[in-house]
Structure 1
Amino acid sequence: MLTVKLPQIFQVHQVPRIFWEDGIMSGYRHPKSSALDCILSSFQMTNETINIWTHFLPTCCAHTFSTMSARARHVCYFCDYGALSLYSLGCAFAYGAYAMPERWVSGVLHRYFVPAAAFNSFVCTGLSCYSRFPELERPRLSKALRTAAFVYPFLYDNIPLFHRLLFCFGSDGACDEAVAGYCYHLVFALLTGFLFTSHLPERLAPGRFDYIGHSHQLFHVCAVLGTHFQLEAVLCDARSRRAWLRGRLPPPAGPGTFGTAGLALLGNAAIIGAFTAALPRAPGGSAGAAESRAPGAAGCVGRAQ
């Protein structure tokens, strides 16, 4: 009979410091897991299981393979940051096409909204990737840089929504449903940011939320819910404003849209490649450097749960 042995899990002091999470005391996977171990670990209860599945379903696998080595952890999250940057660009495409306030349509901001968002994606990826370099020596700076990297494009993308919420989009009652959806989206976005920066509730009770209920899991759930309401609102705008927009704007040009997206993809891939190449020279960038800073790391295998 075929049996599968699931990977062992460890306490926080048994893994290198680069893998530590605030307030999470147990449930860590081996810091040099094989790819097979990473996949198998998604079917056992660890402190990453819910993170894996809430990320894995939309095909972003950073959490799944982040324990193969310290270097692999960095590279996985570099790719995750790039995906989030491209998501922010996708938001700009949708908002530029359907969500602009009436008075801004065909204006300067409308014309340059998407190109500026493409540039923002480079800033977001570059700054968030760089934030992993001082992670061990200056964790507060690392967190601040990473937070700023995602807050900045979020604020830019949502300028049209902020205007619509402030002025209720004039007297056009057909867009009330869309505005309500955007409100829900922004509420969940604020919750997402709060959970990302606060590390609550695990900071208040270390060890109590290692497997279920810690901030990163709640962060993922809020992000998914916020995206759901965002898509519903954009679809509502597309239905209610399509005829009005056709009379004022040329039809969307596929080559221009795909061209911008393609250039953004290549540019973000180049940024990720550059930071990946720089990892061996970064503090804590290699597995050996990270492990040398972790108390008890050398004996992590022997002291498995």
Structure 2
Amino acid sequence: MATVITEKLSRLLFNVRQGPQLLAPLSPSNATQLFQQHNEAINVWTHLVAALILLLRFQQLSQRVDFGQDLHAQPLLIIIAASITYLTFSTLAHLLQAKSEFWHYSFFFMDYVGVAIYQYGSALCHYYYAIEPSWHEKIKGFYVPAAVLLAWLSCAGSCYAKYQYHQSAGLLSRLCQELPSGLAYMLDISPVVHRIYTAPPSQQSDPALLYHKCQVLFFLIGAFFFSHPYPEKWFPGKCHFFGQSHQIFHVCLVLCTLAQIEAVVLDYESRRHIYSALQGDLAHNFSALCLFTVTCSVLTAAYMARKVKTKLSFKDE
């Protein structure tokens, strides 16, 4: 899925005449940056290693999960593919964004597409596998459409903030980027939080529930370091290569994703009697909405990349 999305984004962003330019940032010499010391090295490796771990996990799962025939396995496939996608796109963004000003914008726009896909995948797997019937009854009328909308708004807001307020940490920039993502998270995680707080004492030691708790904890810690420049604020000039808040955010997000995948796998295996009754044969509809989210996010990134190209052409003149 990550390969398909990357190819679609490339075709949308660049026309045929720009073929040689497209190949330049992905030349073999760029791979050597993986092994060089620079302030993005930790950010690159954390997500690259996590993507490889999830690829291996998917290979293991494919030996016992029939992703092709089991209708109820589709949301599990989506969250794994979405996780690998956002980790891959983030790796490329942090590794290659310094090639030029245009590529800086374009790769981070691609990164925001990956985040939007992951947000929808998270919302779907929480709604499909982790939700309790009582909470499902309350939110089934709006949850999935709202998850799609907020995932797209997260991508659009981040792209706009990058384009309009580049290198600015002002209030408007943070609102554009963080408000949609914050609202998306509150909605997406609500089935998990409800389950954690309503689970009887006999279920508190359920391994899936423990993984869900770890997932929430790692995300909240990561969100703090994403929004606050610590510890570099405490040690000015000492955290250029190691110890940046964004690096801590990356590590926490990776741990959150890995815990989430394990929780979802356990829910898929142990809660079929619950989710099969709640979701019926809606898995295909949810998969179609995933493709819709991907399409809207990719088109938004392509549109913003075109605006960047126009902006930079005027600057050159």
TM-score (norm 1): 0.75
1:265 aligns with 2:302: no
The 3 A distance-change label for structure 1 pair 201 and 114 is same
Q: Deviations over 1:6-56 (max 9, x none)?
A: xxxxxxxxxxxxxxxxxxxxxxxxxxx954454322211111111112233
Look up the equivalent residue of 2:239 and give its one-letter code.
F
The 3 A distance-change label for structure 1 pair 211 and 244 is same
Aligned to 1:181: 211
Look up the equivalent residue of 2:252 and give its one-letter code.
C
**What are the ranges of 5 or more consecutive residues in structure 2 without an aligned counterpart?**
1-23, 52-87
Q: Report if aligned partners of 2:135, 2:194 keep a CA contact under 8 Å in 1.
A: no
Q: Report if aligned partners of 2:97, 2:105 keep a CA contact under 8 Å in 1.
A: yes
Quick one: distance in 2 between partners of 1:275 and 1:207? 33
2:48 maps to which of 39, 44, 56: 56
Look up the equivalent residue of 1:149 and give its one-letter code.
P
1:124 aligns with 2:154: yes
CA shift at 1:89, angstroms? 0.3
Q: Report if aligned partners of 2:150, 2:181 keep a CA contact under 8 Å in 1.
A: no
1:246-257 alignment runs, 5 A limit: 246-254=276-284, 256-257=285-286
Quick one: distance in 2 between partners of 1:171 and 1:177? 13
Quick one: distance in 1 between partners of 2:138 and 2:238? 52
Q: Deviations over 1:123-166 (max 9, x none)?
A: 11111111113435843232343222322211110111222223
Aligned to 1:201: 231
Aligned to 1:47: 39
The 3 A distance-change label for structure 1 pair 202 and 185 is same
Quick one: distance in 1 between partners of 2:294 and 2:236? 39
**What are the ranges of 5 or more consecutive residues in structure 1 without an aligned counterpart?**
1-32, 292-305
Aligned to 1:298: none
Quick one: distance in 2 between partners of 1:79 and 1:171? 44
Q: Report if aligned partners of 1:38, 1:68 keep a CA contact under 8 Å in 2.
A: no
Q: Indicate the structure (1 or 2) with the bigger Cα radius of gyration.
A: 1
SS state at 1:212 partner: coil
1:158 aligns with 2:150: no
1:71-82 alignment runs, 5 A limit: 71-82=102-113
Q: Report if aligned partners of 2:163, 2:304 keep a CA contact under 8 Å in 1.
A: no
Q: Deviations over 1:184-216 (max 9, x none)?
A: 111110111111111211122122111122112
Quick one: distance in 2 between partners of 1:86 and 1:162? 21
Look up the equivalent residue of 2:157 and give its one-letter code.
L
CA shift at 1:288, angstroms? 8.9
Aligned-residue Cα RMSD (Å) equals 2.5
Aligned to 1:302: none
- Structure number with greater CO (CA < 8 Å, separation at least 6) is 1
2:222 maps to which of 189, 192, 196: 192
1:102 aligns with 2:94: no
Aligned to 2:274: 244
Quick one: distance in 1 between partners of 2:180 and 2:31? 30
Identity %: 26
Aligned to 2:255: 225
**Structure having the larger proportion of residues in helix:** 2
Q: Report if aligned partners of 1:35, 1:68 keep a CA contact under 8 Å in 2.
A: no
The 3 A distance-change label for structure 1 pair 150 and 244 is closer
Q: Deviations over 1:40-74 (max 9, x none)?
A: 22211111111112233422211111001112111
Quick one: distance in 1 between partners of 2:183 and 2:275? 28
Q: Report if aligned partners of 2:128, 2:279 keep a CA contact under 8 Å in 1.
A: no
Aligned residues: 252
Look up the equivalent residue of 1:199 and give its one-letter code.
P
Look up the equivalent residue of 2:308 and give its one-letter code.
L
Q: Deviations over 1:215-265 (max 9, x none)?
A: 1211111101011111122222222211233345414433x2331111111
